[in-house]
């Protein structure tokens, strides 16, 4: 796989014309790239206007740096992200400590413009740069018995001041079912708008699962473990009644304390209208088959 991402890529370079289309993207990622119009000319063009850089990088949830939306942008400069190792272990053929720079040199970096929907009912559109998690998992060789992927964030309270408080149990942990992790829409992001991902957004590598609530998209990952047990997740540990494992965006299953039927786009000013939340955050066509036969009211 070639490394074909540069740091000086500008947003003008990532218009549909220059987006590299491989077969997998054409089959599964077009809607995610905002290019559905190309695949189905008869259908209305899907408009995904990326949120402003300032919005994406200054309105954040990253409790390791504090619980205010402005805390991560204020404090995340304290985090040193180089060198950075990700331990990949469990049910894999080639377990080990993988240096992020080495991983990056083997991955194909693509532009993915995705909707992003927090469980708190706000949303953005983010032009990520990243690689498919599947490519990393293929590199380490997932064993036949593995059923889930568990991930963990760095624990380093000297550099992550929010970790001095037990707001949630550290380290932050998340997980996916293996088929969700292998889905072509699931990426590890290393950039935004063609720039290296800022610390507050989860440098050097963070998960992005666009059809799930934002908290599944774990930041600053240091461990990836393949397992046959459903992984523990931070928000389920914090409040099992409100947050369960799947956390798929679903406008018809409300949070116990608020409606999930609509969302507030961030960055449009004080009078921005709420917009309806879409099933699987607009990726229903791509991911609904993963949940065939499942009761999504029980498995929320």
Ligand X SMILES: Nc1nc2c(c(=O)[nH]1)N[C@H]1C(S)=C(S)[C@@H](COP(=O)(O)O)O[C@H]1N2
Binding site for ligand X (CB under 6 A): 60-64, 118, 153, 172, 201-202, 214-215, 217-220
Q: What is the DSSP string of 16-52?
A: GGGS---HHIIIIITTTTT-HHHH-TTSPPPP--PPP
214 near Mo ion, rule: CB under 5 A: yes
Query: Judged by CB, which is closer to ligand X: 30, or 300?
Result: 300
Q: CB neighbours of 50 closer than 8 A, spacing ≥ 6?
A: 11, 56, 113, 125, 126, 127, 193
Q: What is the largest CA-CA distance in the chain?
A: 55
Strand intervals (E) in 63-135: 85-90, 96-99, 110-117, 122-132
243 near Mo ion, rule: CB under 5 A: no
For the beta carbon of residue 258, count every other beta carbon within 10 angstroms.
10
Query: Judged by CB, which is closer to Mo ion: 198, or 214?
Result: 214
Q: Which stretch binds Mo ion (CB under 5 A): 24-32, 198-206, 208-216, 220-228?
A: 208-216
Contact 117, 282 (CB under 8 A): no
Total of chain residues touching Mo ion, rule CB under 5 A? 4
In the list 31, 118, 142, 249, the residue contacting Mo ion (rule: CB under 5 A) is 118
Q: How far apart, in Å, are the Cα atoms of 287 and each of 56, 112, 245?
A: 25, 16, 16
188 near Mo ion, rule: CB under 5 A: no
Q: Which stretch binds Mo ion (CB under 5 A): 66-74, 154-162, 209-217, 237-245?
A: 209-217
Q: Which stretch binds Mo ion (CB under 5 A): 13-21, 124-132, 215-223, 238-246?
A: 215-223
72 near Mo ion, rule: CB under 5 A: no
Query: Judged by CB, which is closer to ligand X: 37, or 52?
Result: 52
116 near Mo ion, rule: CB under 5 A: no
CA 136, chain centre distance (Å):
15
> Least distance (Å) from Mo ion to the CB of residue 47?
24
Binding region for Mo ion (CB under 5 A): 61, 118, 214-215
């Amino acid at each position: 796989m070639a490394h074909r991402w540069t740091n000086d890529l500008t947003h003008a370079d990532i218009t549909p014309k220059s987006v590299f289309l491989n077969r997998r993207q054409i089959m599964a990622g077009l809607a995610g790239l905002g290019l559905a119009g190309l695949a189905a000319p008869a259908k209305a063009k899907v408009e995904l206007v990326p949120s402003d850089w300032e919005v994406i990088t200054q309105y954040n949830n990253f409790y390791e740096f504090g619980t205010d939306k402005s805390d991560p942008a204020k404090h995340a400069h304290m985090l040193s992200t180089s060198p950075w190792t990700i331990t990949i272990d469990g049910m894999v053929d080639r377990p080990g400590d993988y240096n992020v720079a080495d991983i990056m040199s083997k991955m194909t970096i693509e532009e993915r413009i995705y909707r992003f929907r927090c469980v708190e009912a706000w949303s953005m559109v983010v032009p990520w740069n990243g690689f498919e998690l599947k490519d990393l998992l293929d590199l380490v060789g997932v064993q036949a018995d593995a059923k889930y992927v568990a991930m963990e964030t760095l624990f380093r309270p000297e550099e992550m001041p929010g970790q001095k408080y037990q707001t949630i149990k550290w380290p932050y942990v998340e997980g996916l079912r293996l088929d969700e992790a292998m889905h072509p829409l699931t990426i590890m992001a290393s950039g935004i708008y063609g720039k290296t991902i800022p610390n507050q957004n989860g440098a050097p590598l963070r998960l992005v699962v666009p059809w799930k609530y934002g908290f599944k998209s774990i930041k600053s990952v240091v461990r990836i473990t393949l397992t046959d047990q459903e992984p523990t997740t931070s928000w389920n540990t914090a409040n099992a009644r409100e947050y369960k494992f799947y956390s798929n965006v679903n406008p018809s299953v409300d949070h116990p304390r608020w409606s999930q039927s609509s969302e507030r786009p961030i960055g449009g000013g004080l009078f921005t209208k709420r917009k309806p939340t879409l099933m699987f955050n607009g990726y229903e066509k791509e991911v609904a088959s993963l949940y065939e036969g499942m009761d999504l009211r029980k498995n929320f």
